[in-house]
């Protein structure tokens, strides 16, 4: 609407101007030598305007003809650029979709229309990588590395291709050259740092870390942590060859990261060797408060080599005094108690975790049973239970489990990747196969009493039996000793009569008058005999009637039948302060 009004206004003004010019009186005379021209003023103005318009049109035509070749060239370039941009766009989409054929077709079109376009070179390289054409990808990345605007991208592509070709030397050379040309290249810095860590060049890795800090690639907090990890790795590496460098590195690492367990342990050991035991104790106590770890407890207990086990026990109690209920505190106290012969204290420390024990708890209980009472059966039951027990935390990184701390992940090369935690593969899933506990071994474990069993003679074997009590008849203790029957809940209902048909029919002198005691075992066998909550353990006399063999559980390895009296009658001859290991139960030889 506004344009129409503006057009009408312009037309009106032009008509008014023309009318005004036509109304103007006067004449215009042009004289040149003998030539003379006279005309009215309106005619002169109209003639002059027409001449100007004609001159303008002629000038426009001449200019258009002059510029036509250039405009045609620019038009062709624009059309080629448009086709190249469309080919690049479609090619990148095809690469994203995984369509190698379409990506190759669009890359060819983009290279034909725009051979020097950086995106065309990138599409060519990516399409070659998608097809598995390593030579083509390498040529494309070499072309990109030869340009100033795509040099970093081309060198990174060459680095990736060197990695795929399993050529670490070429990859390292490319990364170092890229880092030299562009110090703030994050990928080159991480690559060179990873290579130097893989070669155990900790000093070179520290230099790269300093460069990363100055380039702004890492913040101050991450720098302190990573420097502590690298210093700890160097201290462990030169511990035997350069004690001074190892000590200085460990102390600096502990100062930068007091919660780093290996740094704290190594620094404390170095201080203890220089007779700075009190300082080493404070260092370990601070690390224990932040993150309890068995290595810290072991280093704290053995700060002074040659100390007796009872002194080490007192030192461990001092360490865990502020956090006695922690899981690692209980295990450290149990370990020190076993070494010192304080089995009762070790047992009390582990009691809160016996309902759902881990593997370390089960192995420590096996060692307690063997060392305190010489009970090989219970020790073996705890050892077998450790197989089914919950896993303990370990050093793990990227799914890789290690028996000791490492500064770099062997899977990804990531620095400071190892964490003290339960590995993901050992965590319970939603659908898992539950292995039921063996009733026989659980009965052995549940029967622990505060008092130790009476010592047996060397030639007098000790057997474990379970009495069955029914309401049908009352069996005297002598009769129970005369008839020893051991059954499993899963098998007693299968063959009750066959199991008990060979039981002696005649009892001792203290039997009943009407022979009801002879029928009691049969009556008990006809029904399922439940396991008593507190089984009774008897020592078999030297002269006993034949007994029914014990039915073993599927996971019980069993014992040699010929050596059964010696195995079950074995008594521990180990001293009360038996020295153990932090890794679990080791029976004495």
Question: DSSP string covering 24-79, please?
Answer: ---EEEEEETTEEEEEEHHHHHHHHHHHHHHHHHHHHHHHHHHHHHHHHHHHHHHH
Cα–Cα distance measured from residue 468 to residue 471, given in angstroms and rounded to the nearest whole number? 10
| Token representation of residue 129 | 């990588």
Parallel, antiparallel or unpaired: strands 35-40 and 400-402: unpaired
Q: Which H or E run contains 192?
A: helix 186-198
| Token representation of residue 347 | 């047992």
Burial of 60 (0-12, 13-18, 19+ CB in 10 A): exposed
Residue 584 confidence (pLDDT): 37
Query: What DSSP string describes 367-406?
Result: HHHHHHH--HHHHHHHHHHHHHSBPPPEEEETTEEESS--
Residue 503 confidence (pLDDT): 42
Q: What angle do CA 431, 427, 295 make, to 5 degrees?
A: 165
Cα–Cα distance measured from residue 479 to residue 173, given in angstroms and rounded to the nearest whole number? 87
CB 442 within 8 A of CB 315: no
Rounded-to-10 torsion of CA 112, 117, 121, 126: -100
Residue 491's Cα: distance from chain center in Å? 45
Which residues on adjacent β-strands are paired with residue 37? 30
Ranges of beta strands (E only) in 352-489 are: 394-397, 400-402, 419-421
Residue 537 confidence (pLDDT): 36
Query: What DSSP string describes 221-256?
Result: HHHHHHHHHHHHHHHHHTTTT-HHHHHHHHHHHHHH
Residue 335 confidence (pLDDT): 94
Which residues on adjacent β-strands are paired with residue 581? 584
- Shortest CA distance to 199 belongs to which of 241, 171, 224, 220? 171
Counting runs of H as helices and runs of E as strands, what totals does the chain give? 24, 5
What does each C-alpha distance from 510 to 291, 467, 479, 517, 555 come to in angstroms?
65, 18, 8, 10, 40
Terminal-residue alpha carbon distance, the chain: 109
Full pLDDT tens readout for the chain, 589 residues:
888 998 899 888 888 887 887 777 777 777 888 787 777 777 777 788 788 889 999 999 999 899 888 889 888 888 888 888 899 999 989 988 888 899 889 888 988 888 888 888 888 898 988 888 888 889 999 989 888 888 888 999 999 999 888 888 899 899 999 988 888 888 899 899 989 998 889 999 999 999 889 888 889 999 999 999 999 999 999 998 999 999 999 999 999 999 999 999 999 999 999 999 999 999 999 999 988 999 999 999 999 888 899 999 999 999 998 778 889 999 999 999 999 999 999 999 999 999 899 999 999 999 999 998 888 999 999 999 998 888 999 999 988 999 999 999 988 888 999 999 988 766 555 544 444 455 555 555 555 444 444 444 444 444 444 444 434 444 443 444 434 334 344 444 444 444 334 444 444 444 444 444 334 333 333 334 344 443 433 344 444 444 444 444 444 454 444 444 444 344 444 344 333 333 333 334 4
Taking phi first (over 0 means left), then psi (-120 to 50 degrees means alpha), and beta for anything else, what does residue 421 get?
beta
């Amino acid at each position: 609407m506004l344009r129409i009004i503006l057009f009408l206004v312009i037309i009106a003004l032009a008509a008014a101007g023309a009318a005004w010019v036509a109304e103007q009186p006067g004449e215009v005379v042009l004289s040149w030598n003998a030539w003379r021209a006279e005309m009215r003023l309106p005619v002169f103005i109209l003639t002059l305007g027409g001449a100007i318009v004609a001159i303008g049109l002629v000038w426009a035509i001449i200019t258009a003809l002059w510029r036509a070749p250039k405009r045609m060239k620019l038009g062709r370039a624009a059309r080629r650029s448009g086709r190249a941009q469309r080919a690049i766009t479609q090619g990148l989409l095809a690469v994203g979709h995984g369509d190698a054929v379409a990506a190759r077709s669009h890359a060819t079109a983009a290279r034909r229309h725009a051979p020097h376009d950086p995106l065309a070179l990138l599409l060519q390289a990516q399409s070659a990588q998608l097809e598995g054409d390593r030579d083509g990808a390498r040529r494309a990345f070499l072309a990109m590395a030869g340009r100033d605007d795509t040099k970093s991208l081309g060198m990174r592509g060459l680095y990736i291709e060197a990695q795929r070709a399993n050529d670490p030397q070429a990859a390292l050379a490319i990364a170092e050259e890229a880092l030299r040309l562009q110090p703030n290249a994050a990928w080159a810095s991480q690559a060179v740092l990873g290579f130097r860590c893989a070669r155990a060049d900790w000093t070179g890795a520290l230099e790269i870390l300093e460069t990363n800090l100055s380039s702004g690639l890492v913040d101050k907090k991450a720098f302190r942590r990573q420097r502590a990890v690298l210093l700890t790795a160097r201290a462990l590496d030169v511990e035997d060859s350069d004690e001074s460098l190892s000590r200085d590195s460990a102390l600096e690492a502990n100062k930068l990261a007091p919660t780093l367990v290996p740094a704290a342990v190594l620094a404390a050991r170095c201080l203890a060797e220089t007779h700075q035991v009190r300082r080493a104790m404070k260092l370990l106590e601070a690390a224990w408060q932040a993150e309890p770890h068995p290595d810290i407890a072991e280093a704290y207990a053995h700060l002074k080599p040659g100390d007796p086990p009872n002194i080490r026990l007192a030192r461990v109690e001092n360490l865990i005094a502020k956090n006695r209920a922690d899981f690692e505190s209980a295990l450290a106290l149990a370990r020190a108690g076993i070494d010192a012969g304080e089995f009762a204290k070790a047992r009390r420390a582990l009691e809160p975790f016996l309902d759902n024990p881990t593997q370390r708890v089960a192995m420590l209980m096996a060692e307690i049973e063997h060392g305190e009472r010489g009970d090989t059966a219970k020790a073996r039951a705890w050892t077998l239970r450790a197989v089914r027990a919950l896993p303990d935390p370990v050093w793990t990184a990227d799914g890789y489990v290690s028996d000791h701390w490492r500064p770099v992940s062997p899977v990804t090369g990531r620095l400071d990747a190892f964490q003290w935690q339960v590995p993901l593969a050992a965590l319970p899933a939603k659908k898992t196969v539950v292995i039921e506990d063996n009733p026989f071994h659980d009965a052995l474990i549940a029967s622990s009493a505060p008092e130790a069993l009476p010592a047996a003679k060397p030639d007098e074997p000790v057997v474990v039996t379970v009495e069955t009590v029914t309401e049908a008849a009352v069996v005297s203790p002598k009769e129970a000793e005369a008839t020893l029957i051991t059954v499993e809940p899963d098998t007693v209902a299968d063959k009750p009569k066959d199991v008990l048909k060979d039981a002696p029919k005649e009892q001792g002198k203290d039997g009943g008058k009407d022979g009801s005691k002879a029928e009691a075992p049969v009556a008990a066998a006809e029904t399922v005999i439940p396991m008593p909550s507190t089984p009774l353990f008897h020592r078999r006399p030297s002269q006993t009637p034949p007994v029914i063999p014990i039915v073993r559980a599927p996971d019980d390895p069993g014992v040699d039948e010929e050596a059964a009296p010696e195995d079950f009658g074995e008594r521990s001859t180990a001293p009360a302060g038996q020295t153990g290991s932090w890794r679990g139960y080791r029976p004495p030889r």
